[in-house]
Structure 1
Amino acid sequence: MKTESLGVGAIGTGGFGLFALQQFLQIPGVKLVGIAGTLREAALAMSRRFGVPDLVEVDALLASPEVDLVYIATPPFLHYPQARAALLAGKHVLCEKPLAMTVEQADDLLALAQERDLLCVANLMQRYNPLYEATRDLVASGVLGACLHGWFENYASDEGLGVDHWFWDREKSGGIFIEHGVHFFDLFEGWLGEGTVVAAQRVLRPGSDIEEQVQCTVRHASGPLVNYYHGFTQPSRLDRQEFRLLFEHGEITLEEWVPVRARIRAAVDEAQTRTLMELFPGSRLDVLKTFGGRDRAARGRFKELDIYQQIEMQHALGDDKQRRYCELLRSLFADQLAWLRDRNHVRKITERNGRDSVALAAIATQLATS
């Protein structure tokens, strides 16, 4: 790769590809040099937006000496063959999630990338969120005691997913865990350590073989069981998501699938209150109850606790979800570009994230459908 510039070739020209590229190309030294796509309106919109007039076939794009990195934004069943072809052509790869449809495919891509010293990452941008980092530090600090349990509830809209959309075709999407769930498997593994799927179920839409709801339970390395639910059933105006972690004497709730708000409820002493405010600076702190004398003594899990006050904290990043999403995409791309320019750079997301999230999703899918 030319260290002073990076030529990007895009495969897949749907609406999301255009959205993401508008973020990636804001990073200094990055230029779009080619688009492989059909003559659909979305492809023409991308061509008009970036001034790349010639839409070429994938093989022509991969053969171009101007292309250093290939960005893949096609449906999931195309990710593996297109990423593999790009790596064989000597191109770096940034792929929309999932990295592949199976862990065997992901392992093959990682082996190729390592052999050729190439980038091959999935766009799992959640770990670039300041709220991801603050929550990770909350878990690590032990300020609320051990993390005991977690939930992720995704009440998602299917309003834009017509009956013929590839999302419902498991041969093309892999199913909800693989197409969508990888984001959240990766996020919780960053908080709680490696996960093992212990149970999974699914619900079919009445009168059809459409998988519309899935859930699973994952035991994470640090001990907690986490329940994951995804249902694509809602009108868009009811779409909402919620993350929750329960601790020994408190809990945190994050809102939106790209979290932008956090609420912490806890029973804490004076020093623990100070630590929480340092972890989530700028939060609004409401003191709901105070305790003195003998009333400070409490117990939980056979442990003696000293509790000065019961609090609720509200923490907001000040941005809406879409604005935050844009920022995370820019951060992910800048991080990967830094690694391309200096192999000593430590990335927040590596090839392993794409692979390991697919591995969890594949096991959950197997258990849910067996």
Structure 2
Amino acid sequence: MTNTDATDVREIGIGVIGMGGFGLFAVQQFLQVPHTRLVAIAGSKREEAIAVAKRFGAEQLGSLEELVNHPEVDLIYIATPPFLHYEQSMLALNAGKHVICEKPLAMNSEQGEEMLALAKQKGLLMVTNLMQRYNPMFARVKHLIDKNLLGEFLHGYFENYAGDEGLAPEHWFWDREKSGGIFIEHGVHFFDMFAGWLGEGKVVASQILKRPDSDDIEDQVQATVEYGDEATGKKLVNFYHGFTQTGRMDRQEMRLLFERGDITLYEWVPTRMVMRCVVDEETTRALMDLFPGAQLNVTANIGGKDRMLRGRHKTFEAYQQIELKFGFGDEKQHIYSELLRLMFRDQTMSIHHPDTHRIVTEQNGLTSLETAVVADRMARE
């Protein structure tokens, strides 16, 4: 690293493995974080890689070995298919480079544990890009749950109706030896999200469906994860992923049910929310503080003796039944961009200041992978 100013904040040189469409999108955001520079790209002759190299004046190297041993590269960003993550990350770590890797961390828990152990031994980052936790919506839902603003959380689901137009039958996504299957390649984001809200979960049921007339295309998966315990009350969350839709119908939805209402979140990185609930005056104020600028629609006024409501053998008071809409004016691509900048800033800050608290740590990547591995294994037993 080289000094860049009098405050001794050092420039971080980035090397990239896997400069495809998302790699380009991510690197454009990383380089907006101060004191970072794209040094080199390796292992890709794709049009995107050539364009990025020209735009940022980066070197295009012929081998991964050249990249990880480049003296000006401090951090390797890996955006390749999952089956390459272990080998490429270990190569970078052994060369003394920090690593940020796209999900999943690895193809199995044993690989993930080995990667994290080596990173810890060398004092290096080995972080999975679980960008969901940097979403302000994530923090708002976490506050809603922790403060019991709608009563206790009871149940949830995530449903991913994903498009498969860009996934030809020969695409690596369908090859379990390269992707790990849908739970591992894709599900880790959402297992991690709910773990952030509810704590560590346990997979209690799981299924995988193959496409009719196909021996090897698994296009639908479903898992049920249990959170909490007997003391705090157990909660079930269902996770469904189906790669079955035309691109125009690609959509995601998750719902969280509480004692006095529910919220529905939209998009794979949730940017929009609809809440339906019964509230007293104090709760309405707390919700409007939590979701500033939300549109509040009054479904019904509740007065007199009707203000005392019952549910789950509990009595509570309410003065209105309302609907809140939040985030519908936001541009989702701009939010995705900001989450990548926040993630990269958070991680590189810990390179400058190792004791800095990070929102996402190495353990998040491993824990989400372990949940996905259990779901995948249980579906096959």
Q: Is the structural similarity TM-score above 0.5?
A: yes
User: Which of these residues, 66, 70, 77, is aligned with residue 76 of structure 2?
Assistant: 70
| CA drift at 1:35 | 0.7
Q: How does 1:282-361 map to 2 (within 5 A)?
A: 282-316=293-327, 318-361=329-372
Q: For each residue in 1:212-260, what CA deviation from the matched residue of structure 2 results, as whole angstroms up to 9, or x when unmatched?
A: 0101000113631000000011111101101110000111111111111
Q: 2:246 corresponds to which residue?
A: 235
| CA drift at 1:344 | 2.1
Q: For each residue in 1:132-165, what CA deviation from the matched residue of structure 2 results, as whole angstroms up to 9, or x when unmatched?
A: 0000000001111100000001000001111111
2:330 & 2:36 partners in 1: Cα distance? 26
After TM superposition, the structure 1 stretch with the greater mean CA deviation from structure 2, 294-303 or 309-318, is 309-318
Q: 2:279 corresponds to which residue?
A: 268
Pair 1:364-2:367 in alignment: no
- RMSD after superposition: 1.2
Q: Secondary structure at the match of 2:359?
A: coil
2:328 & 2:116 partners in 1: Cα distance? 35
Q: 1:172 corresponds to which residue?
A: 178
Q: For each residue in 1:61-120, what CA deviation from the matched residue of structure 2 results, as whole angstroms up to 9, or x when unmatched?
A: 111111100000111000011101111110000001001111111111111111111011
Q: 2:226 corresponds to which residue?
A: 219
Do the aligned residues in 2 keep the contact of 1:94 with 1:121 (CA within 8 Å)? yes
1:313 & 1:126 partners in 2: Cα distance? 22
1:54 & 1:246 partners in 2: Cα distance? 50
| CA drift at 1:54 | 2.9
| CA drift at 1:317 | 6.2
Do the aligned residues in 1 keep the contact of 2:39 with 2:59 (CA within 8 Å)? no
Q: Secondary structure at the match of 1:273?
A: helix
Q: For each residue in 1:142-194, what CA deviation from the matched residue of structure 2 results, as whole angstroms up to 9, or x when unmatched?
A: 11110000000100000111111100001000000110111111111111111
User: Which of these residues, 202, 206, 210, is aligned with residue 200 of structure 1?
Assistant: 206
| CA drift at 1:39 | 2.5
Do the aligned residues in 2 keep the contact of 1:34 with 1:56 (CA within 8 Å)? no
Q: 2:47 corresponds to which residue?
A: 41
1:280 & 1:163 partners in 2: Cα distance? 43
User: Which of these residues, 13, 16, 30, is aligned with residue 10 of structure 1?
Assistant: 16
| CA drift at 1:297 | 1.3
* Amino acid in the other structure paired with 2:116: L
* Amino acid in the other structure paired with 2:221: V
User: Which of these residues, 83, 90, 101, is aligned with residue 95 of structure 1?
Assistant: 101
1:358 & 1:317 partners in 2: Cα distance? 32
After TM superposition, the structure 1 stretch with the greater mean CA deviation from structure 2, 3-12 or 34-43, is 34-43
2:282 & 2:147 partners in 1: Cα distance? 13
Pair 1:121-2:132 in alignment: no
| CA drift at 1:52 | 2.3
Q: Secondary structure at the match of 1:54?
A: strand
Q: State the TM-score, normalizing by the size of structure 2.
A: 0.95
Do the aligned residues in 1 keep the contact of 2:279 with 2:321 (CA within 8 Å)? yes
Q: For each residue in 1:263-296, what CA deviation from the matched residue of structure 2 results, as whole angstroms up to 9, or x when unmatched?
A: 1110111111111111111111111111111111
2:273 & 2:21 partners in 1: Cα distance? 30
What percent identity do the matched residue pairs reach? 58
1:247 & 1:168 partners in 2: Cα distance? 37
Deviation >3 Å, runs of 4+? none
Judged with a 3 Å threshold, the aligned counterparts in structure 2 of structure 1 residues 318 and 345 are, in CA distance, closer, same or farther, namely farther
| CA drift at 1:367 | 1.1
Q: 1:187 corresponds to which residue?
A: 193
1:89 & 1:130 partners in 2: Cα distance? 36
Q: 1:247 corresponds to which residue?
A: 258
1:347 & 1:275 partners in 2: Cα distance? 27
Do the aligned residues in 1 keep the contact of 2:40 with 2:53 (CA within 8 Å)? no
Do the aligned residues in 1 keep the contact of 2:224 with 2:239 (CA within 8 Å)? yes
Judged with a 3 Å threshold, the aligned counterparts in structure 2 of structure 1 residues 39 and 292 are, in CA distance, closer, same or farther, namely closer
Q: 1:59 corresponds to which residue?
A: 65
Do the aligned residues in 2 keep the contact of 1:72 with 1:79 (CA within 8 Å)? yes
Query: What is the aligned length?
Result: 370
2:129 & 2:31 partners in 1: Cα distance? 15
| CA drift at 1:53 | 4.4
Do the aligned residues in 2 keep the contact of 1:37 with 1:43 (CA within 8 Å)? no
After TM superposition, the structure 1 stretch with the greater mean CA deviation from structure 2, 238-247 or 218-227, is 218-227
Q: Unaligned 5+ residue runs, structure 2?
A: 3-8
* Amino acid in the other structure paired with 2:312: R
* Amino acid in the other structure paired with 1:259: P
Do the aligned residues in 1 keep the contact of 2:17 with 2:44 (CA within 8 Å)? no
Q: Unaligned 5+ residue runs, structure 1?
A: none
Pair 1:161-2:167 in alignment: yes
Q: 2:5 corresponds to which residue?
A: none
